[in-house]
Amino acid sequence: MTADSSVILPPNPLKLLYQDEALLAVHKPSGLLVHRSPIDKHETQFALQYARTLNGGSHVYPLHRLDRPTSGLLLFARSPEIAGLMGEAMMERRLKKTYLAIVRGWPEAAGHIDYPLRDMADDPRYKGGELKMRDAITDFERLATVELPVAVDRYPSSRYALVRMHPHTGRKHQLRRHMKHLRHPIIGDAKHGKSTHNHFFAREFGVQRLMLAATRLELTHPVTEQPLTLNAPLAEDFQHVMRALGWSEWIEDQVFDAGKST
């Protein structure tokens, strides 16, 4: 019996979005680790465990990572063979990922970020030695803006924006670090963001999470070789903030409609 299998789990927090003979896609809530991490040794609950229960108790293989505070679409392979095929597709950047974020300030209407990022020592993939700079590329588009008549920082009003992002590489905290580089950090980012705005959202909207969600994956199915689009709905707390900021129209947009998975 493995350490993971000995844990008595509470009700499954994952929402099943898609399943076939090769793949299993779920919605992961903010705050849940994907798998065991050396920097969170005290944790006993992981998305990987819960995904196994959705897979009839059989092993699943995570095909990408979501940071613990990030919610949204998480994809697993149901066999090591499929994991290998999907790993090749990811190495060749044949998957398109879409994320939604609420950021401080108003970024440009659209942009292409080509800004290398240094390895992080707490990245599970880091094996020691030199922390190298690696290429990191993200495209983004601004969907909506709001200006609140509240002096959160040094200005008499505070601006926020809803941004859709497409990472082309998979560096740790890439989207969070890229938005910090643009001086438009993601709200709720305790590591790369700004505490005054994070605290404001906690007080005003009752949320203390990272306002970042994985909403869509576009790929070629490893068995059928047909295009497959997977979508995830936004978590309720994310929707709550969007409604409060006047962005309800984007909640209903088909980009975030789980029913549109094909």
Work out the number of other CB atoms within 10 angstroms of the CB of residue 151. 11
Cβ atoms 220, 89 nearer than 8 A: yes
The DSSP annotation for 154-223 comes to SSSSEEEEEEEEEESS--TTHHHHHHHHTT-PBTT-TTTS-HHHHHHHHHHH---S--EEEEEEEEE-TT
Write out the two tokens for 15. Answer: 């929402």
Catalytic one among 4, 20, 40, 67? 67
How far is the C-alpha of 221 from the C-alpha of 79, rounded, in Å?
14
Cβ atoms 71, 238 nearer than 8 A: yes
Residue matched to tokens 């809803």:
162
Is 67 designated active site? yes
How far is the C-alpha of 174 from the C-alpha of 115, rounded, in Å?
10
How far is the C-alpha of 27 from the C-alpha of 95, rounded, in Å?
18
Residues belonging to the active site: 67
